[in-house]
A and B are shown apart, each in its own frame.
Chain A
Amino acid sequence: MKSIDIRHLSKLANIELDKKEEKKLQKDLDAIIKHIQKIHEVDTKGLPETIHPNLTSLMLRNDKVGKSLSRDVVLLNKENSKDGYFTVERLIYDDNQ
């Protein structure tokens, strides 16, 4: 089993790890992946996947607008909002800059 690429994973998971933590988590992750290899001992050929414990059919509701939170209430939890919108840093940028 090859060691997992923690840098790639931290990018997928959007978590910036410092060097020390990266080293510790690399060790932990390798140990966890080794441990969960156990599942390959089970023969599950032909068995369906269970994604949900009691899902018998898709649940539908009427296509009607229901009660929801107002924009003002939703924005209360954030200081950095402007004109009724959340503000964030630049989304489109050049990596080389």
Chain B
Amino acid sequence: MMTINDYLKLFDEGKLTPEELLESCCSKIDPDLNAFITVTKERARNAIGSVDGKIRGIPVAVKDNINVKGVPTTCGSKILKGFIPPYSATVVERIEKEGGLLIGKTNLDEFAMGSSTENSHFGLTKNPFDRERVPGGSSGGSAVAVATGSAIIALGSDTGGSVRQPASFCGLVGLKPTYGRVSRYGLVAFASSLDQIGIIGRNAMDVGILLVIIAGKDPLDSTSVTVDVQDYTDLDGSLEGIKIGIPEEYFIDIDEDVLEAVIEIKEILQDVGVSFPSVSLPTSEFVIPTYQIISYAEASSNLARYDGVRYGLYHSGVNFSDEIRKTRNDGFLSEVKRRILVGSFVLSSQAIGEYYEKALTIRSLIKKEFKDALDKVDYLLTPTTPSPAFKIGERFDDPLKVHLSDRLTAGANLAGIPAVSAPAGMSRNNLPIGYQLMGRPFDEKGLLSIVHQVEKIKPFELLGE
């Protein structure tokens, strides 16, 4: 499987030029899949050769809730109509400084709220493995861009699984780093205590290469941390003696094909000397309602800024309040409205104690359970989602089905720990299946090492390779 380093080698040997690679990526953009909201081919072409960095000439796609100076940021929403950010996100600056070519902004569920990339003002994105199915979400556009080879690697954002779940549905590696590992400056806020920028790539090495570039303290994001950035490309350390827990609660009501594929990963790891003690995370069944309350509450507060006054869509009204209310009604789709309304409810004076504050105490419990489990074992292995990609329309606009595919991923966000999804195999109807590994804070290197070594034993065939 080609890694970013292999492309760099081909450049150095004169066997491939960055122009040719960019052209090849652009030619694979399929309008029917609708992975991109904006393609920035000219910007990418103009950047070729300008810097000689760690990813010189490598096309990178960016989820359209991360700012790139001079390129519209839409967040998949009508409310940001015409908005052109006057600054780039820190992650984007760091990628461009290392020679990465920004090939385009990818489609997402509006403001990253969803798990299917169906809730976008710019139309839905389809899964390249089966066009009648969703690619996952909310970073569905980024996953499809990488899966089809329209980008070599992509950035997403993960609030409850939005990087890992689409990576799983599209046969890719998706990493949600530890909260604070990567600067969120320039990422449009959804739920600030859960949001983290993540990476979707074709293999663990590529993800590691990009993480080395984007990780680290940023004075512009006070929640980013000073913990040392490790060499995330040094992934060959022995796995012998490592302990991985299998939390039984994460194996309830799981599709049979998914179960079999994850068990196979367990057996591969057993063969290289990993042991599997049993662990328990009994609060797992409360992860989704807790996640809903906290993320909706934070969203209702964060999205209050969209008022039509300083940027974006604007509707006139008879007075100030009227123009804001009209702008927000027309600018947001139903899913976002639902979350803002529920968020406003759980934060309202009559409900805050019963819902929001209660959820914060359950978050403490969830966090403690993860800590206790990860004191006993080094990592946790679970499926990424209960089933492979679902059909387009199957869960659309249904407030109770929208989180069905988040129940195994949102816990890592509540606890702030790193987690990765990687290919476990294919289902009987030929859809990718993902396994998830969660680890201790700042052990991204360990997570990627396991994925890297599984890849060597069980290579995953990408589309078109």
A-to-B contact residues, CB < 8 Å:
4, 6, 9-10, 12-18, 21, 24-25, 28-29, 31-33, 35-36, 38-42, 44, 47-55, 59, 61, 69, 73-74, 76-78, 80, 86, 88-91, 93
Contacts and interface: CB of A to CB of B under 8 A. Distances in A.
Contacts of B307: 14
Given A39-B293, A61-B222, A89-B323, 20 more contacts: A9-B348, A13-B341, A14-B324, A15-B337, A21-B334, A25-B334, A36-B293, A39-B290, A39-B358, A39-B362, A40-B358, A44-B358, A49-B357, A49-B361, A53-B415, A59-B222, A88-B309, A88-B320, A89-B319, A90-B319
B83 to A, nearest CB: 6
Contact of A12 (B310, B328, B348): B348
B355 A39 contact: yes
Contact of B326 (A16, A39, A52, A54): A16
Interface string B304-328: 1001011110101111111111101
Nearest to A49: B360
Nearest to A27: B399
A76 B223 CA distance: 29
Contacts, number: 162
Give 4 closest A-B pairs by Cβ, nearest first: A53-B416, A49-B360, A44-B361, A77-B311
Nearest to A72: B86
A88 B321 CA distance: 10
A40 B30 CA distance: 47
A4 B137 CA distance: 29
Interface of B: 82-84, 86-87, 178-180, 193-194, 219, 222-223, 225, 283, 285-286, 289-290, 292-293, 300, 304, 307, 309-312, 314, 316-326, 328-329, 332, 334, 337-338, 340-345, 348, 354-355, 357-365, 367, 399-400, 414-416, 441
Contact of B361 (A4, A48, A53): A48
Contacts of B225: 54
A77 B82 contact: yes
A28 B320 contact: no
